[in-house]
Every structure is written in C-alpha cells, then in structure tokens.
Amino acid sequence: MIKVGIVGGTGYTGVELLRLLAMHPHVEVTAITSRSEAGVRVSDMYPNLRGHYDTLAFSEPDAKQLGRLDAVFFATPHGVAHALASELLDQGTRVIDLSADFRLRDADEWAQWYGQPHGAPALLGEAVYGLPEMHREQIKTARLVAVPGCYPTAVQLGYLPLLEAGLVDAGRLIADCKSGVTGAGRGAKVGSLLAEASESMKAYGASGHRHLPEIRQGLTDIQAGAVSLTFVPHLTPMIRGIHATLYSTLIEAPGDLQTLFERRYAGEPCVDVMPPGSHPETRSVKGTNTCRIAVHRPENSDTVVVLSVIDNLVKGASGQAVQNLNLMFGYDEATGLSAPAVMP
Ligand SMILES: NC(=O)C1=CN([C@@H]2O[C@H](COP(=O)(O)OP(=O)(O)OC[C@H]3O[C@@H](n4cnc5c(N)ncnc54)[C@H](OP(=O)(O)O)[C@@H]3O)[C@@H](O)[C@H]2O)C=CC1
Ligand SMILES: CC(=O)N[C@@H](CCC(=O)OP(=O)(O)O)C(=O)O
C-alpha cells in the first residue's frame, strides 16, 4: 500500500482522482489540499464519496507533510506545481502533475503560451510526458510526470499509428475537436453557465490555443520531423467528453488502415480500436480511462478521417494520472481503471 496526496482536491480533476483511487487496491489517499475548504471533510463536500473517505479532510498545502508521502498529484491551475515540485522531489516524493507546468520542453515557449515565466525550468530535463502509449518505459522510472492535456491525449492517440507509419502528409493535419464544459474547470465562469453553454455550440481559440504547442511537440516526436497542424476546439453542451475528428492526407498507399490501427494498439489496455465503419460516442467512454478510436477513408479517397473519443476528466486527466502512477510503482497499468462506462 502506498500513501498519496492530492494538491487541489476540490476541483473536478481532484474529485475524479478521489473517485478512481477509492477503487484502487494499493493506494491510500492520506492528504488532500484546498485553501478555500480547509477543515471541511471530503465526504461532506462530495457525498458520492461517503463511505470511502469518511475521516479525510481538506487541509492547506504543506510541503513538509506532502513530502512524507510516496506520491503527490497536482490537480491545480498552471504554475502551482512549479512552486512545489522541487521541494517534494528533494524529499523523495514522486510527482504526477495534471496541469501543463511540465508538458512543454521549452521554457520560453511555455512562458509565451501561459503568459507567465516558467517557474521551474531546471526540472524540465527530467520531466516525462505521461502518454503511456508512447513513453511507457520512461514513465516507469520517472520521478516527475507531466500528464498530457485532454485534447492532446485524444489527438495524439488518433494520429499516432498514421504518423509512425509515415503514411500521411504531416504538413497538412487538421484536428476538429469538441469538449464538454467540465474541461473549463469548476471555477465560476459565465461561459460555463447552463444558460450560456446548453443548446448551443461554439468554437474558441481558433487562431491559437495553448494545447497547440503541446500537440505539435508530441506529433513531432512521433513523426521525427516537422508537423503542421490546424487545431480548432469547440465547447459543446455536454458535461464530460472530448470528441476529436482528425483529418489527414495519404502520401503512401495505405494498405489496410484498420489492421494498422488494430496492430498498433494490440495489448494497449486503455485504447479500443472499434470495428470498421464505427462512429464512437463520447458517452461510451464516460467515467472510463478508455480512448475509443475508429478509422475511415471516405470514398476510398486520399483523405483519412480518424474519430477519437475520451472522457476529459479520466483518460484526459485523472485516469491517465492513475495509469501513470500504476506504471511508476510497478502495478498492473489498468489497476483501478477497468470499470465500463455508464450507459445511457
Ligand atoms: N478539467 C479538465 O478536463 C482537465 C483539467 N486539467 C488540468 O488539471 C488542473 C486542475 O483542473 P480542474 O480540476 O479542472 O481545476 P479546478 O479549477 O476545478 O480546481 C483547481 C483546484 O486547485 C486548487 N488551487 C487553486 N489555486 C491554488 C494554489 N495557488 N495553490 C494550491 N491549490 C490551488 C483549488 O482549491 P483552493 O483554491 O481551495 O486551494 C482547486 O481545488 C488544471 O491545471 C487543468 O488545466 C487537465 C486535463 C483536463
Ligand atoms: C472546455 C475548456 O475550456 N477546456 C480547456 C482545456 C482543458 C484543460 O483543462 O486544459 P489542460 O488539459 O491543459 O489542463 C481549455 O480549452 O482551456
């Protein structure tokens, strides 16, 4: 049994970590922080957790206390892990960061997209990008893992087999993506109000979103060369879910694309390649750590369309964080992550 802590336990990804870890046989959550709710019992704030965490209460973040644990998750806004990670690593605690603090390798690029200087550039060399389907071996020995963003997870997993095989033009990729409103976090925002977000849909960040450099960095690693990507996110009236429609143009005779995807993801516990002709639904992955993918080639043309769906709070954040923890501590990768989605 390992002891873990969560910094930022009142947000959507923090409470999702609690829900998932309640089913984990090897993990005990012994510390959870919130500055605004310090002293409040977790099960009083989140009654769905009654019977699981009845004695655990929120407390102020305390680096000394957190540094006594085996691992700490950061489920906090950008910049918070910069300030605390080094102190925890020095005490021997492994850090799994759900924010974007250590996702980009270039501190200047991070500063440009996140509007503040990078607070811990000395740690960038050792941070491992926590996409298990690409970096499984490095994750196993990592002290510091940067959990990928929600859109970047769905987009990279969708393009991965095509780019690895060198089948498509990496200079002409288009990712048309939709997110549920929990992607915007739990903090009050006008755009997340029921009357604003329901029965409507809108694009945002069309001329530049902070996930663009992260996706580009990941796809460039896969492709081993420059990538040009158009990425347009949309806010949709659902609570959870990411739906990515990914376009690319063939430059090689593709062979059987279905077989390519099935072979690439054979044995991957958290990626499901659907049968030919499928259209995966976000609700089929709700609450699960699964990325469900379908590949299409409309009218046998040179265009490939990949459909990739995840739950933004699970494979797009907290579930992927637990998948990383499992790898870092030598547990079966899917431990605590195998429950199917609730339907309907
Ligand atoms: N929502 C999503 O779908 C996804 C989110 N992420 C990332 O995960 C992180 C958390 O997201 P989410 O749960 O949505 O965020 P929320 O806004 O819902 O929650 C943020 C949490 O962080 C705490 N917090 C805020 N500021 C500080 C601070 N300075 N020091 C310590 N704790 C702080 C808050 O509690 P308090 O203020 O009381 O301390 C709260 O518990 C973000 O970086 C987000 O970008 C990643 C992938 C998907
Ligand atoms: C709907 C919505 O607002 N989504 C968020 C992305 C989700 C998120 O939290 O971003 P990280 O994965 O980088 O942490 C956004 O577009 O900023």
pLDDT tens track of the chain, all 344 residues?
999 999 999 999 999 999 999 999 999 999 999 999 999 999 999 999 999 999 999 999 999 999 999 999 999 999 999 999 999 999 999 999 999 999 999 999 999 999 999 999 999 999 999 999 999 999 999 999 999 999 999 999 999 999 999 999 999 999 999 999 999 999 999 999 999 999 999 999 999 999 999 999 999 999 888 899 999 999 999 999 999 999 999 998 888 999 999 999 999 999 999 999 999 999 999 999 999 999 999 999 999 999 999 999 999 999 999 999 999 999 999 999 999 999 88
The sheet with strand 144-146 has its strands ordered as 58-59, 27-33, 2-7, 71-74, 94-97, 144-146, 128-129
Closest ligand (CA of 76): 1
Predicted confidence at residue 310, as pLDDT, reads 98
Domain boundaries, the chain: 2-126, 150-312
Nearest CA to ligand 2 atom 6: 183
Closest ligand 1 atom to 98 CA: 8
Q: What is the spatial distance between Cα 109 and Cα 213, in angstroms, rounded to a whole number?
A: 8
| CATH for the 150-312 domain, from 1.10.760.10, 3.30.930.10, 3.10.560.10, 3.30.360.10 | 3.30.360.10
Identical fold at 2-126 and 150-312? no
Report whether residue 310 contacts ligand 2, using a CB cutoff of 6 Å.
no
Predicted confidence at residue 223, as pLDDT, reads 86
Mutate to test the pocket of ligand 1, among 16, 45, 76 (most ligand atoms within 8 A of CB): 76
261: left (phi over 0), alpha (psi -120 to 50) or beta: alpha
ipTM of the complex: 0.95
> Which CATH number describes the domain made up of 2-126?
3.40.50.720
275: left (phi over 0), alpha (psi -120 to 50) or beta: beta
pTM: 0.97
